[in-house]
Structure 1
Amino acid sequence: MSSHTNGPGDALRSRAAANGASSKTLIPTNSVTTKDGVVKVRIDPTLMVADVVKQLVANLQIKQPPSNFALRDDDDELVTNENLRRMIRSKAKLKLVNSAAVEAQEIYEKLQLREEKSYRLALFSLQRYLREEDFANEFLKRDGVHVLVDVITTSHGNTLAYALTAMKNLMDLEYGWATLDSSFIFRVVQIIAAPQSLINVCRPATAILKRLVEADPASAPGPLVASSSRAPPVAPPGSVYRYGFDVVFEEMRKEPGLLETVVSRLGTADTALVLNSVMLINSLLAHATDTWWEVFISQLERLNTRKAIIRLMSSHTVEDLTSCVLDFQGNIARVIYRKKTTLVEPDVEETHATALDYIWTNSRLQVETAPDGATLKWRQLGFASENLSHEFTEVGILGLDCLKHFVQSDPDFFSKVVQEQNSRSPQRRCPLARASNEVVELLSEYWDATSPVFQPFFLNFYKVHALATNFFLQMWNESGAAIGDFSRVIALVRSQVKVALRQEHLRPWHEMEQDFSECEYRGVRDRQMKELEDEDDLPSKIPVRNLRAKLYKESKEFVRQQRIHCLLQGSWFLNAVPISAPTSRRLARQWRFMRLDNSLKHLHYVDSQSKFPVRSGLEDLPEHFDLALITEIATANCAPPSDGSVSAGAAPLVASPLSFSLITPEGSLADAIAPDVSRWADWTDGLNMLRRDSGHVASKETADFIQALTEIGLKIKLLDLSGDKVEIPSGLAAGPPPTNNDFFFSDLYDPQ
């Protein structure tokens, strides 16, 4: 049909005409391409898309029912009731195309026929269409998941890449793929583990495995069903939240090289593949269960995963990976805490007994007997008793691991030290094992809070522990300390830890090493004395440290709710240009207003050439995107748009410190510049805290806010105690256990 302004256009603008409006002046003209040509139409923005399609089909005298058709723009974006007004305002070129039901049926049939040319084209289209919920629902109705699994099972190369990407996009839905079984999971594991797999195959496969790990019953939205009073909850029948860590790890164990391959890919040049690999490791860390936790963590340690992440911290690609690296850092903090609170039980756990045997063997000491006939073995290494479960009570298996790594770093040095100390009188011996545990406590205290910056020294916890333990030994020897001076030497180490580990995101490793190794007792002691003039030992007491940790969690949750409230209110931002974009790039609309919906799942927005009062609710915000798509909140990576006057030889764009981008594997959903630092912190941290696989604090502003709230709360609590003149002990000794179980805990109540 040739272009014209009558016929279909008149019919589509009839409602506006009936209302007395001048459609020619108020309603822009859109072109609609059909199989017969192009027509010019004026679309009433108050119509629903279904009504627009119905009138087009009627006026073009198409004999098929309107339900067979839909509208898309030149970029193949589906026209919906939410974006119709934007399409009309921008005079988008539209196409009358197959509806979701028709398109799903055609693709389904092509996938079953397996005719080479149409088969690959159908898979290519399927990747894009499955991002649309209407199409995905139609595809699921036709048992499309089964067909897609069959393609993934039998394909390779680019065909496999298309199929895996389609499955990944389908799995963004919270339903429809609960039929995936263990054989499919193992197939994905095999694809990832194969060193020869193409990059475009590995990316979606890794993302699929990550999604399966996160789909555990405990993560399911809504109420859970408990299988018994003691068993963990299970998801309702038909829910996709029926997988999780245990299900995936069982299949991973069948392919021993999987984790090694994933970790090795952290060093590849492809940023998207590195991103997916880090995200998979993070999901495994965050969802690991008690069943396989120790096995999994041991594998990650054996593969030097932390070292690979440290390399990423200094990589040129780190801007795209900041959030994931910080997530990994937070996960390792949780691993450290769990190890610290897990008891050492050599009589129960074989791994604990093996580690202790290794330490003792490398000491090259002989078991001695005390004058009273008691066995002297572990006290020769510096423990206070032979009861190792008690000796490691405060530091758990983290303390055992640190001592083992200390020995491993230089077995000959360890043997020399303990033998030299045992040649001295008991009062002059350095209690090396006890010192090791105290250093673990010091480092755990120093790295107590979540950091918004990289902490490469923290990821090297064992090496820093070895340096600090050697520093303790040096201070002991240089000061001529005796056993009664133990706490004094520990105080010196605490002071030096603060100096050596300062600004670790900016300082190289060798400078930190020098701070521990190239210092003298007198200088450290003089500095410590000045520090003691300004503070007392109250903050270092264990009850106060525990109170601070509790208040920190409460403060972080308070700030999280405040940040989310800011997102629910919404804000205007300047649309920005990534610094990698051409300097002459201009933006059609300068401003964007964004607001989070009440479900906390979608971010709604509107672009405009100028700011205008936005009403509450979402009526003024026709566009939206799913927060589940976001894999990274990149910061300080965009610049204000050009005014179009930039010459070819102009300087490159300079990133604004208030800019941020919402990154997905397919690109950026938004590039914005906040009006001020507070708004930037509210949105970057708020969005990070909403992500399914995150929760870290990214900005110094938010981290300082949380810390300030924590310190204020701590001071208020301590003022209450000091006002009542309550003595705070340095530690509490547990009493003997009950002789039987004939007791109960009474309820505490207020007699008033």
Structure 2
Amino acid sequence: METNISELVERLGSDEDAVRKMAVFKLQSSIGDPSFADVFIAEGGLTRLRYLTLHASGNTLAYSLTSLARLLEVDKGWEFVDQEVVERIVELIVTHPLVNILRGAMSILVSIVSHPHTGGRLSERGIFGFRALRPAIAIYPQFLEMLVSRLSSADHALCANALQLINSLMRDSITNDSELEWPKFIQKLQDLGVIRAVYSLMQGSTLQDHAHPLIEFQSLTKVLLRKWRDIPLDLEKPEHRRALKGIHLASNTEKNHDKGIDGTVDVRRSKRHNPEKWRRLGFESESPTVQFENMGFLGMMDLADYVRNYQEEFQRMLLEQSAKPSQQRCPIARASLSVTSILYEHFEVDKSEMEDAKSYLILESRSNVDKLFRPLLLHWTRLHVAGLHAFFRLWKATGAELEDYEKIVELIRILVESVVGGAPRTKDVQDVEEELADFEYARLRELQMEILELTYEDFWGQHLRQIREELHHEALQFVKEQRIRCLLQGAWFPSSTTPKPETGLSSDPEWKFVQLSHNRRFLHFGYFESMGNGSPELDALPDKIDLSVVSSVVSNVSTTPDDSSSSTVKSATHNVSSTKITIHGYVQPVSSPDDLKKSNTHTRSASKTTQKEAVLLSLRPQTPSIASEWLDGLLMLLNQQPITAETSKLINLVSNYGLKIRLLNVRFDDAVFTSEAPTVPSREGLDDDYFYDVFGGN
């Protein structure tokens, strides 16, 4: 093998370009083997490879760059990498149009910039890391612009190499530059459009070809956010002091409050200290730095960005809030910091890079790709503004006060989780902004309750099921009482040609009124020519059924929601509902009309063997509600289960409402009253000698 390598090195130095080209072409496929690389360097091949890198052109140059890049990837050949090589590579990236040359050149710079992170021995020489590129970039200042422009290249490999190089530059800058330098570099990249370009790649259809550098860029974005968050607000630093002062100046306080009658600024008034200088902007105290303890300089950046880009809205809101009582004012600055915190938690910014790196392991599965990438993270600022606008909208819509602040924050958290968290990878940020702006408050409350129930289900599953059962039983008793009260109130039913049960003859009267007795033991009814203006007295109803002889209640009332609308269709000729409730019961055989006259009450005076089951009464409800009330009321009165969809819906409604009240732990002072809260009656002068008359009446 050594003989072959010696021949290869000799051909690299040939005077004929064709020989050199073939030699370096073969070299690029073998030099990635560390043992081959060691022999190649020992034979003096690195000197000739470096010469070709600096002076060759065309394909010979492309193969040379690829060979050098692969040699550096196995951490060999660093001793021949100097400022001349770096400047040559930067020059190629800026001036050369050929893709195959650009790929190799960018791969070399990635190794050079990343070398300190790989534990290279020679990093102390100062020609590695981002600082190695600075002299060359000073000669070719358009380097970064050209690099960002390559992110839109149609060649996927070149695009991936460009992003990989940008990642290396960002990481090195964040790690090794001073606190003043790295933010400037990041800002410069953003000004050149790197966010827009990477966002487009993340949403594109060629995601798999750029997956690894995109994942790294996403992780670096979190690193940046975390680094900004970890910088405490320090007014001793000029840039921090300027940022805070800019927010105050944008509030336009001097223009609004310090002008004299002639429109000029009263210098004496403007110098006067405003006792609510910071609280009027939405801070909790006159020491605004305390408010930034959790979100650090990241919170300041988000607030300053909103104030700068929405200055007129900011000033208008401050003017509107100043006219309200202090408890009703929306705390703008505090709300901004809360939205920043919500986004920080939602995107799991504190998640370590090691955990993000595990994402590489599942990149092979295309079905998991959409779950890995969070393009909306790149539009942090726009999401912050949209979230802040949603906060303002909910504050106004709910009539919130300062004591309700945390409740609004919780709603915004749910809103972000629903809209931002539920957005697919390809959903545009503008659509997300619009959805955040249009999301209805009622729907948001429903989501809140669903999440609350799921949370309690996870932690208190067994207890929650027990509570549900208890509440369902309570709701059933509540609805039972409501249905029976409908029977106690009574109702009119068309009688049409329904035969009277005691004669079997057709009835001339058109209506019958049916009412349950106060003691709930008898069902009274009577026939009338018309309904009249009101309900007849119970004593005016001549007939009654002893409920103890009722054997069953049968009906064609719908038991499913889909059929409820068709169950009460009226006949065009008789104006009578098609819905029918039939009450069956046991009656004593009738031997003669005289025996019937002895009592108009059906009683169970003999054993069932001497009785027969017959129709005691038929009802034709005119609406679905009346049908549900009377059918289920009769069934529940007989200690049977309700069967109609309307009653089931009512039971579930009452049960769920009770559950929500328990989950929300609503206190008395949380209730909203249209007027003053009712006073609790005094028990002074009362003792325990009392009782409830529940089943009064006949």
What band does the TM-score fall into relative to the shorter chain? 0.5 to 0.7
Alpha carbons of structure 1 residues 378 and 238: separation in structure 2 relative to 1, 3 Å: closer
State the Cα distance separating 1:239 from its structure 2 match. 9.7
The equivalent residue for 1:334 is 223
Instruction: State the Cα deviation string for residues 135-174 of structure 1 (Å, max 9, x = none).
Output: 4333312443333333323344433322211211221222
Question: Is 1:464 matched up with 2:378?
Answer: no
Structure 1 position 208 matched with structure 2 position 108: yes
- 1:707 is matched with none
Is 1:193–1:255's contact at 8 Å kept on the other side of the alignment? Answer: yes
Decide whether the 8 Å contact of 1:456 with 1:505 is kept in 2: no
Larger Rg over CA atoms: 2
Determine the structure 1 residue equivalent to 2:345. Answer: 445
Q: 1:191 aligns with which of 89, 92, 105?
A: 92
Would the aligned equivalents of 1:456 and 1:504 in 2 still touch at CA under 8 Å? no
Aligned partner letter, 1:121:
M
Gaps of 5+ in 2: 258-268, 360-370, 460-698
- Cα deviation per residue 1:504-554 (whole Å; 9 max; x = unaligned)? 334623542233111333432343244334447999xxxxxxxxxxxxxxx
Q: How many Å separate the matches in 2 of 1:147 and 1:239?
A: 25
Once the two structures are superposed, the pairs formed by residues 621-632 of structure 1 within 5 Å of their partners are none
1:154 aligns with 2:55: yes
1:204-283 map, 5 Å: 204-216=104-116, 218-220=117-119, 236=121, 243-249=128-134, 251-252=136-137, 254-283=139-168
Matches of 1:410 and 1:253 in 2, distance apart? 37
- Which residue in the other structure is 2:280 paired with? 380
The answer on whether the counterparts of 1:344 and 1:388 sit within 8 Å (CA) in structure 2 is: no
What amino acid is aligned across from residue 324 of structure 1 in structure 2?
P
Question: Compared with structure 1, are the counterparts of its residues 318 and 241 closer, same or farther at alpha carbon in structure 2 (3 Å cutoff)?
Answer: farther
Q: Distance in 2 between matches of 1:484 and 1:157?
A: 72
Change (3 A) 1:242 1:354: same
Alignment check: 8 A CA contact 1:215 1:241 kept:
no
SS state of the match for residue 421, structure 2? coil
Partners of 1:124 and 1:255 lie apart in 2 by 30
RMSD: 3.2
Task: Name the residue aligned to 2:397.
Answer: 478
Residues in 1 aligned to 2:142 and 2:404: alpha-carbon distance in whole angstroms: 50
**Could you say which residue in structure 2 is the equivalent of 1:435?**
335
Structure 1 counterpart of 2:215, one-letter code: L
| C-alpha deviation, 1:249, in angstroms | 4.9
CA contact (8 A) 1:178 1:240 kept: no
Counterpart of 1:323? 212
Shift of 1:382: 1.2
> Does structure 1 residue 362 correspond to structure 2 residue 247?
no
Cα deviation digits, residues 667-692 of structure 1 (max 9, x gap): xxxxxxxxxxxxxxxxxxxxxxxxxx
Q: Quickly say closer, same or farther: Cα 1:397–1:253, change in 2 above 3 A.
A: farther
Aligned-partner SS, 1:178: helix
2:61 and 2:307 mapped to 1: Cα distance?
A: 48
Query: What is the distance in 1 between the residues matched to 2:341 and 2:141?
Result: 35
Alignment correspondent of 2:452: 532
What's 1:178 paired with?
Answer: 79
Residue 413 of structure 1: which of 298, 313, 332 is its match?
Answer: 313
Q: Deviation per CA, 1:41-82, whole angstroms, max 9, x where unpaired? A: xxxxxxxxxxxxxxxxxxxxxxxxxxxxx5xxxxxxxxxxxx
> Under a length normalisation based on structure 1, what TM-score does the superposition of the two structures give?
0.52
Q: Note closer, same or farther for the CA distance 1:506–1:209 as it changes in structure 2 (3 Å cut).
A: closer
Residue 659 of structure 1 corresponds to which residue in structure 2? none
The SS at the match of 2:28 is helix
Distance 1:419 1:500, change over 3 A: same
Q: Deviations over 1:253-293 (max 9, x none)?
A: 55332222211111111001011011112223333324243
CA deviation after TM superposition for structure 1 residue 439, in Å: 0.6
Q: Give 1:503's aligned amino acid.
A: G
Answer yes or no: is the 8 Å Cα contact 1:496–1:524 preserved in 2.
yes
Residue identity matched to 1:477: K
1:488 to 369, 389, 407: 407
- Distance verdict in 2 for CA 1:166–1:237, change over 3 Å: closer
Candidates 510, 516, 526, aligned match of 2:436: 516
| Superposition deviation, residue 246 in structure 1 | 3.6
Tell me if the contact between 1:365 and 1:419 (Cα under 8 Å) persists in the aligned partners: no
1:169 aligns with 2:169: no
2:251 maps to 1:345: no
CA distance change for structure 1 residues 107 and 337 in 2, over 3 Å: closer, same or farther? same
Q: Taking structure 1 as reference, are residues 398 and 290 closer, same or farther at Cα in structure 2, changes over 3 Å only?
A: farther
Q: Cα 1:536–1:148, aligned 2, differ >3 Å: closer, same or farther? A: same
CA pair 482-190 structure 1, distance change in 2 beyond 3 A: same
Q: Secondary structure at the residue paired with 1:243?
A: coil
How much does 1:339 deviate? 1.1
Distance 1:330 1:193, change over 3 A: same
Q: Percent identity?
A: 29
Q: CA deviation at 1:251?
A: 4.4
Provide the C-alpha distance between the structure 1 equivalents of 2:172 and 2:306, rounded to a whole number of angstroms.
30
User: Is it true that 1:109 corresponds to 2:8 in the alignment?
Assistant: no
Task: Please say if residues 165 and 204 of structure 1, whose CA atoms lie closer than 8 Å, have aligned partners that are also in contact.
Answer: yes
| Equivalent of 1:393 in 293, 298, 301 | 293
Native 8 Å contact 1:379 1:385 kept in 2 = yes
SS in 2 for 1:256: coil
Which amino acid in 2 is paired with 1:455? R
Pairwise CA distance, 1:242? 7.2
Cα 1:408–1:142 shift into 2, 3 Å: farther
- Mean alpha-carbon deviation: is it higher for 151-160 or for 320-329? 151-160
Q: Per-residue deviation at 1:410?
A: 3.4
Counterpart of 1:366 in 2: which secondary structure? helix
Q: Gapped runs of 5+ residues in structure 1? A: 1-69, 71-97, 221-234, 540-752
1:400-444 deviations in Å (ceiling 9; x for gaps): 221233234433323322332234332222111110001111111
Partner SS for 1:505: coil
Q: Which runs of 4+ in 1 moved over 6 A?
A: 237-242, 367-372, 536-539
- Whether the 8 Å CA contact 2:235–2:241 is kept in 1: the answer is yes
Distance 2:289 2:11 in 1: 63
Deviation of 1:206 (Å): 0.6
CA distance 1:173–1:523, shift in 2 (3 Å): closer
Counterpart contact for 2:50–2:80, Cα < 8 Å = no
Structure 1 residues 131, 533: CA separation in 2 closer, same or farther (over 3 Å shift)?
closer
Deviation at 1:108, TM superposition (A): 4.0
Distance 2:193 2:302 in 1: 16
Instruction: Indicate the SS of the match to 2:284.
Output: coil
Aligned to 2:480: none
Report the Cα distance in structure 1 between the residues aligned to 2:425 and 2:6, rounded to whole angstroms.
57
Contact 1:332 / 1:459 at 8 angstroms: preserved in 2?
yes
1:137 is matched with which residue?
Answer: 38
- Measured after TM superposition, the shift of residue 236 of structure 1 is 4.5
Conservation of the 8 A alpha-carbon contact between 2:12 and 2:49: no
Q: Is the 8 A contact 1:213 1:243 kept in 2?
A: yes
CA distance in 2, matches of 1:265, 1:348: 37
The separation in 2 between residues aligned to 1:384 and 1:305, in whole angstroms, is 37
Give distance in 2, aligned partners of 1:187 and 1:153: 6
Q: Deviations over 1:472-508 (max 9, x none)?
A: 0001111112222211211111111111123333462
